[in-house]
Amino acid sequence: MARTFTVAQIADRIRELIDAEQMRALSPDELRRRISSSYARYYAKLVGCGLGFPTEVTQSITASGDTYALPADHFSTQRVDYFNGTLWIPLWEVDIRELHNVQYSNFGGYSFCYRLAGPSLILYPPPAVGGTYRHIYCPAPVDLTLDTQTLDGVCGWEEAVILDAAIHAVMKWEGETADLRAERQALDERIDAEVQMRSLNKAKRIVINRRYHWDRGYEFDADVRDAADWWPWR
């Protein structure tokens, strides 16, 4: 990790920022709770860019039905794949309003779509028993309750946590927060611009113009006859 700080260090920097080294409005426990809440906001911002921060976790699934409980630490699904014995084949994410387009006859014994529903991951059509799938997801941020716990600022972005927590601290005694909010907005925009620098090698999304059909092989999008029969291919 490039820039690691303890919760205690972040708390000290908040006090310095708002010139309140001896402040009494917030107890140490409440300040840690503010830091944890602000860290969750910052964490979600980095997950949203889809560049592998934080480290993803893999949930292995051996098919025994169509509905599976999401892991207790699940925050954001990145992808779901089916293993055909040789390759991991990505599944499409389907919206509940699009389920009428999904072919429910289990033509090959495997699922080609999924969706999240509350605490569950649902595969469509229902897979044959014993099939192998993987669910790659970002875990939820940990709750920062101890001074010794750490967070990674990556590129000076820990200031986002400091500014956000400082705003809530100042609000506690009904102080003025306009300058802090303006600085936080500028930093948010900077993070949005800089986060793409984590990986500059190629485009982050691939536009697929041909796919693999289970009984017809490769065909281009212009040849699509029944979109529900298609495997997205890598």
Give the per-residue pLDDT at 231.
47
Q: How many angstroms separate the CA atoms of 214 and 218, rounded?
A: 9
Give the per-residue pLDDT at 204.
55
**Nearest alpha carbon to residue 77 among 121, 35, 38:** 121
Give the per-residue pLDDT at 97.
77
**pLDDT tens digits in sequence order for the chain, 234 residues long:** 568 899 999 999 998 888 765 566 678 898 999 999 999 988 888 887 666 677 889 999 999 989 999 999 999 999 999 999 899 999 988 888 777 666 555 555 788 889 999 999 999 888 989 999 999 999 999 999 999 999 888 888 889 999 999 998 888 877 889 999 999 999 888 888 877 776 655 555 555 555 555 455 555 444 444 444 444 444
Q: Which residue type, as a one-letter code, is found at position 204? A: K
Give the per-residue pLDDT at 108.
59
Q: How many angstroms separate the CA atoms of 99 and 210, rounded?
A: 22
Q: Which two tokens mark 189?
A: 């925009």
φ and ψ at residue 193, rounded to 5 degrees: -75, -40
φ and ψ at residue 202, rounded to 5 degrees: -160, 170
DSSP string, 69-112: EPPTTEEEEEEEEEE-SS-EEEPEE--GGGGGGS--S-SSSS--
Residues linked to residue 113 through DSSP beta bridges, in sequence order:
92, 124
- Exposed, middle or buried by CB within 10 Å (0-12, 13-18, 19+), for 34? buried
